[in-house]
Structure 1
Amino acid sequence: MVVMAISVAGLDPSGGAGILGDIKTFSALGVYGAVAVTALTSQNVKRVSGVLPVPPDFVGEQIDLVMEDLPLVHGKTGMLYSEDIIRVVAEKIREYRLRMVVDPVMVAASGGRLSSEGFVDALKRYLLPEALIVTPNVAEAEKLSGVRISSVDDARRAARVIGDLCDVIITGGHLGGKNIILLDGEISILEGELIETSNTHGSGCSFSAAAAAYLSRGFDLHESLKMADAFVREAIRHGRYGTLNQFWSLEEKEKPD
């Protein structure tokens, strides 16, 4: 049986983030990846110079045609850009009963804006109630919760606020490697090594994609988050050119004895 997942996200032509990063992650974890493209961007690991959103109806049409052909259950969202795209994607998630990991992409790691006005309100109103879990970094969690986060305790409070809409993991790149997880009303901390490197472009995309991949392979949500965190840390550790290396495990196997 072929295991598969879908990424509904934007295109990063540098290949580090967005749907290309997601497909790399799916493939590295043995999952067949389908996509629906929400936006084209002109960017690299250092800067974003332009965004061209896909018409919302065409985003919906892509999802319809993929679902017509493939028995998908799990997937993830990345860059959605606008309220209209968010509404269409939320409708399709509900229509097809998809179990989706939501990466609330707002700003690129380089600082370029990847969302329009009204994005956060639309995300909270339409998409998060349909989500299996949302995976914000600290800056995104602040936007979603209204809580200023400068400590783990602050992150716990933010997770409680966001948890009124759906389960959440606040990823720990800015919390000393600590991920704050709220599942079914219970908070836990997933700790990991904080790797000092500049090869982090696309780490949020790959984390949410890895979580969706492990879910599609039959792991429960908490185990999928743990395994996704471990996968991304190794992809960062073996990264190059400013971004992750999702195929690090294959390269390790190919090394001569």
Structure 2
Amino acid sequence: MTPEDTTYIRRTHTYRSVLTIAGSDSGGGAGIQADLKTFSALGCFGTSAITAITVQNTRGVTGIHSVPPGIVQQQIVAVMDDIKPAAIKIGMVHTAELALAIAFSIMPYTVPVIFDPVMVATSGDRLIEKQTVNAMERSLFPHATLVTPNLDETEWLTGLKVSNLEDMKVAATRLLQKGCRAVLVKGGHLKGETLHDYFLDNTGREEVFTSTNINTLNTHGTGCTLASAIAAFMARGADLVQAIAAARSYVHAALDEGKDVQTGLGIGPLNHFYNPHKLIKYDLEC
């Protein structure tokens, strides 16, 4: 069968697809695995370009093998030129060479790019090389619609100690000076009944998002899931701030639904499929 074979049903619809460029988590809770689960749960068709293979489970990361930059580039181009995802999520970028290769590969495409600068796993294991940070800032920050660091990553990127909402605001301004168009500093690591995420873009628009703290050990992959959900909602047509709000609601519910589940002996994952959507069909534009 070929696409030109007229004996088959005419194709009149398409799915909104999203591309994740990230590392593989053998434990299934974060990285590529969490991204694809999120896309599917939110009614999008997930595609992937794997940047690294990690050896990890709920207790930590014990090995990382980077995929050659040329292969990563080929994965990105193969997907973007054929399936044409409506949004891109970038996660783990293990080396400076990978950062440059990814930046070069996504440059021709005008779709939203959500960059979660994964540096440290939930277990505390460092996931990238030191020289990669400067390469990410130079090459990937300018191409990102939104950068979503957690507090550890924010401190690493800015050199500032972040202990409260006011610190998050100062750090966000510093991140914009590094070439970001918009940043969402995630405050999930702060203690308290109410958690804050702080959004700032290069037009001066700011938003403070709040949520109640959920008492759970199952937080593995939370950052990956949030960035992927933002990308999925943007692929479905939401603007950036709308997508952030919807993604935060999704993650909050996924944390709540998975809080009493044991998966492995360490820090478990969210419940990505607590309320899954069917793949959403859209009219195919001719």
Give the shorter-chain TM-score range. Answer: over 0.9
Code of the aligned partner of 1:49? T
- Residue of 57, 60, 69 corresponding to 1:56: 69
Q: Distance in 2 between matches of 1:250 and 1:102?
A: 24
Q: Which amino acid aligns with 1:222?
A: V
Distance in 2 between residues matched to 1:97 and 1:249, nearest whole Å:
31
1:1-257 matches, cutoff 5 A = 1-164=14-177, 165-166=179-180, 167-175=182-190, 176=192, 177-183=195-201, 184-239=203-258, 240=261, 241=263, 242-250=268-276
Q: How far apart, in 2, do the equivalents of 1:150 and 1:103 lie?
A: 20
Q: 2:40 touches 2:276 (CA, 8 Å); kept in 1?
A: no
CA contact under 8 A between 1:93 and 1:99: conserved in structure 2?
A: no
Matches of 1:250 and 1:37, distance apart in 2: 24
- 2:153 aligned partner, one-letter code: E
Distance in 2 of aligned mates of 1:88 and 1:98: 18
Q: Distance in 1 between matches of 2:95 and 2:249?
A: 32
What do the CA deviations read for 1:133-184 (whole angstroms, capped 9, x no partner)? Answer: 0000001111122211011111100001112222000112123410011123
Cα deviation for residue 234 of structure 1 reads: 0.8
What letter matches 2:49 in structure 1? Answer: A
Determine helix, strand or coil for the equivalent of 1:169: strand
Structure (1 or 2) with the larger CA radius of gyration: 2
Q: Distance in 2 between matches of 1:185 and 1:250?
A: 35
- Tell me the percent identity: 40
Bigger relative CO (Cα 8 Å, ≥ 6 apart): 2
- Structure 1-normalised TM-score? 0.95
Aligned length: 251
Tell me the amino acid that sits aligned with residue 12 of structure 1.
Answer: D
SS in structure 2 at match of 1:71: coil
Quote how far apart the aligned CAs of 1:97 are: 2.8
Question: Residues 16 and 244 of structure 1 are in contact (CA less than 8 Å); yes or no, is this contact kept in structure 2?
Answer: yes
Following superposition, the deviation at residue 188 of structure 1 comes to 2.0
Q: What RMSD in Å do the two structures reach over aligned CA positions? A: 1.3
Structure 1 distance, partners of 2:37, 2:86, is 19
Contact 2:199–2:208, Cα closer than 8 Å, also in 1: yes
| Alpha-carbon contact 2:54-2:61 (below 8 Å) kept | yes
Cα distance in 2 for residues equivalent to 1:249 and 1:105: 27
* Counterpart-to-counterpart distance in 2, 1:173 and 1:45: 19
* Distance in 2, Cα, partners of 1:106 & 1:119: 10
Query: How far is 1:31 from its partner?
Result: 0.4
* Distance in structure 1 (CA, Å) of the matches to 2:212 and 2:28: 25
Deviation at 1:250, TM superposition (A): 4.3
Structure 1: segments with no counterpart, 5+ residues: 252-257
Cα separation, 2, equivalents of 1:72 and 1:109: 29
Q: Amino acid of the residue matched to residue 72 of structure 2?
A: V
Q: Deviations over 1:86-106 (max 9, x none)?
A: 001111121223321000000
Q: Which has the higher helix share?
A: 1
Using the alignment, how far apart are the partners of 2:86 and 2:209 within structure 1?
Answer: 26
Cα pair distance change 1:250/1:216, threshold 3 Å? closer
